[in-house]
Structure 1
């Protein structure tokens, strides 16, 4: 009987610990965005610069209500399209004082001389499309 209580308490504490893991943040965060590296740097150089700038994007500050860096990721894209060899899927996730997570990967890429890729919905798929 006593051992059953111990196992139950142990299982409950493991479940609580797992729910507070950093992987939860990644699942709730925005999806990666597509960016294009500048022509004058290699993908490896762009990746290194991106990963260095992302956590420092908002600079050092004593202000407590500024966005907080959460995590970053950079994956080269191997799509066979017009941007082949220059495209990457990136995440530069910050949490804002409103508790909202935002991916500023396009902003970081643009600060490095790159650009973002914008995807648009056809009019018939848009929420504003006539019914």
Structure 2
């Protein structure tokens, strides 16, 4: 996981704080959503193209706007498929299972799965948001 240290002016901090208080998103999700959508923003690409090196093309984002798990989750699990049938347009479908992001399984792959596994049993932790923006987890 990439964990940059970002320094920005107070005007941005105030905006992120206002978004934090106006939504159910945390500050990291807000920053990730901004980066996630920037690659599809004409305004962002226009700004970046002014500083683009002459002999290099700008990269295409390796995600689709429908893959919200990429910015919602702190460390989403992605799965890349390579081979003859690679989707060169990167038009992948996001699985409904939030644990894995990638292409949906074909019927053949679904049939090859092993039986259901059982999970752990016990107390479910309670997550409490604090007024300062932190999170407390209470078990039991």
Same fold, TM-score > 0.5, yes or no: no
- Give the TM-score normalised by the residue count of structure 2: 0.21
In the superposition, the TM-score normalised over structure 1's length comes to: 0.22
**Higher helix fraction: Structure 1 or Structure 2?**
1
Normalized per residue, the structure richer in strand is 1
